[in-house]
Structure 1
Amino acid sequence: MLPKINQLIYLQVASSDEEEASIEYKTRIADETEDEMLIELPVREGTSRYKRLFIGDELSAYYVSSDGVKHYFNSHVLGYKEDVIRLVRIRKPEPDSITKVQRRNFLRVGAELEMAVHFSGLRFLVVTDDLGGGGVSFLSDGKRPIKDGLEMECWLLLPYRNGSVDHAHFKAEVVRLKKLESGRLQIMSKFTRISENERQKIIRYCFERQFELRKN
């Protein structure tokens, strides 16, 4: 059963940061099309603070049916629509993908992939840590001048299940650095400039990766 217009939806946004990913937001379905739902800007539960969503952000959402049952689904942000208020366009879930069991794997997946990074005349290779339609995180030895707000140009190597290999090109902004017990840094970034074609390459890889993880 799909949620209806005016239905309240509660969602969490995929993030490499467990604390950030656990925050729950509330929104309402304002309109819909055949393939999309248009939601109001999400508000953090218990506050009046809005959550800014970016194209490609992966969402884990649920709504409560009239009989009090929670129904869960995954989606991602497609864009925006300027109306009387600004609405967020998200992918409408397939009816058979809605479940009464919560799934917290999002479209973001753990993935060790080669990625070339370029900024300020520096160019080097890194290994990714996780990946999704809205961003990527990777590991660094901490010797390079990477800081919050830095914009990087990246080329990501994507091996698919059929044996083919592709590259995704994008620009990404560093949003957080986290020091690991190993002494290395986890660099978390969000895409700032990426074509829809390049984003779909990444989302395809994530779906294939999810499938492999579920089999194991």
Structure 2
Amino acid sequence: MLPKVNQFLFLHVASSDEEEAAIEYKSRIADSDNDELLIDIPLVEGTGKYKRLFLGDELSAHFISEDGVKNYFNTHVLGFKEDGVKLIRIRKPEPESITKVQRRNFLRVAAELEIAIQLSANIRFIGMTDDVGGGGISFLVDGKWPMKQGTNLECWLLLAYRNGSVDHSHFKAEIVRVKSLESGRNQVMAKFSSILDSERQRIIRYCFERQLDFRKR
């Protein structure tokens, strides 16, 4: 059973920030085609607070069927559409991927990758990721760098694939949380704010390869 136009979706957004990942948002399906669902901007019920989504954000979603059963699937943001109001394009799930059990198996994997970060025209430095995904990253940097929630970054991520090839993914990101560590470094959680689909696909390819490696252990 696929979700239908005018049904409500209940969403969680993948995030390294556990508090953010726990928030449930509600949205209405405004339209549908072969591969996509178009949904209203999600909001937190009871508060009216809207959630800004970015290209590539990974979502855990469920809808309630007429018999009251919750149906779960994972999806991601494909883009946006202006149709009088702003709509969000998300990947329509395959019928066989919809389950009665919630799966928070986002495409986010533990990985130590070198990342070059540009904070301003004169500030550029190197960090090391601790996890990466199609919607964002978490990385470690020296505590001397001014990392604050809401700060915008320009990043170049070094990706090493299983076949020995090396690639770079370029994107812009927004810091969603900074955690100070006893080591003197900061753990920075950031979401992609601007990324070409081709760049995101490089990261997703890397994540799939990492998942395969984990399964073989």
Please confirm whether the aligned pair reaches a TM-score higher than 0.5, indicating the same fold: yes
Preserved CA contact (<8 Å) 2:109 2:133: yes
The alignment covers a number of residue pairs equal to: 216
Gaps in structure 2 of 5+ consecutive residues: none
Preserved CA contact (<8 Å) 1:5 1:29: yes
Which residue number in structure 2 is paired with residue 122 of structure 1?
A: 123
Q: Deviations over 1:35-70 (max 9, x none)?
A: 110011111133221111111111001111222221
Query: Is residue 73 of structure 2 the alignment partner of residue 73 of structure 1?
Result: yes
Tell me, in whole angstroms, the C-alpha distance in 2 between the residues paired with 1:44 and 1:106.
21
How far did residue 91 of structure 1 move?
Answer: 0.8
How far did residue 123 of structure 1 move?
Answer: 3.4
Tell me, in whole angstroms, the C-alpha distance in 2 between the residues paired with 1:10 and 1:192.
22
- SS of the equivalent of 1:53 reads coil
1:58-69 to structure 2, matched below 5 A, reads: 58-69=58-69
For 2:15, give the aligned amino acid.
S
Tell me, in whole angstroms, the C-alpha distance in 2 between the residues paired with 1:151 and 1:84.
29
Query: Structure 1 pair 46/31, CA: closer, same or farther in 2 (3 Å)?
Result: same
Preserved CA contact (<8 Å) 1:58 1:108: no
After TM superposition, the score normalised by the length of structure 1 is 0.90
- SS of the equivalent of 2:147 reads coil
For 2:92, give the aligned amino acid.
K
Which residue number in structure 2 is paired with residue 41 of structure 1?
A: 41
Query: Structure 1 pair 48/188, CA: closer, same or farther in 2 (3 Å)?
Result: same
Which residue number in structure 1 is paired with residue 97 of structure 2?
A: 97
Preserved CA contact (<8 Å) 1:28 1:39: yes
The more displaced of 69-78 and 202-211 is 202-211
Query: Structure 1 pair 179/42, CA: closer, same or farther in 2 (3 Å)?
Result: same
Tell me, in whole angstroms, the C-alpha distance in 2 between the residues paired with 1:198 and 1:160.
14
Which residue number in structure 1 is paired with residue 14 of structure 2?
A: 14
Which residue number in structure 2 is paired with residue 32 of structure 1?
A: 32
RMSD: 2.0
Q: Deviations over 1:152-176 (max 9, x none)?
A: 3322121223443221112223232
Which residue number in structure 2 is paired with residue 177 of structure 1?
A: 178
Which residue number in structure 2 is paired with residue 51 of structure 1?
A: 51
- SS of the equivalent of 2:23 reads coil
Tell me, in whole angstroms, the C-alpha distance in 1 between the residues paired with 2:4 and 2:119.
46
Tell me, in whole angstroms, the C-alpha distance in 2 between the residues paired with 1:66 and 1:214.
37
Tell me, in whole angstroms, the C-alpha distance in 1 between the residues paired with 2:78 and 2:109.
19
- SS of the equivalent of 1:68 reads coil
After TM superposition, the score normalised by the length of structure 2 is 0.89
Which residue number in structure 2 is paired with residue 209 of structure 1?
A: 210
How far did residue 149 of structure 1 move?
Answer: 3.7
Query: Structure 1 pair 175/38, CA: closer, same or farther in 2 (3 Å)?
Result: same
Query: Structure 1 pair 4/56, CA: closer, same or farther in 2 (3 Å)?
Result: same
Query: Is residue 84 of structure 2 the alignment partner of residue 84 of structure 1?
Result: yes
Identity, % of aligned positions: 69
Which residue number in structure 2 is paired with residue 135 of structure 1?
A: 136
Tell me, in whole angstroms, the C-alpha distance in 1 between the residues paired with 2:200 and 2:91.
14
How far did residue 17 of structure 1 move?
Answer: 0.8
Tell me, in whole angstroms, the C-alpha distance in 1 between the residues paired with 2:123 and 2:85.
42
How far did residue 134 of structure 1 move?
Answer: 2.4
Q: Deviations over 1:68-87 (max 9, x none)?
A: 22111111111111113221
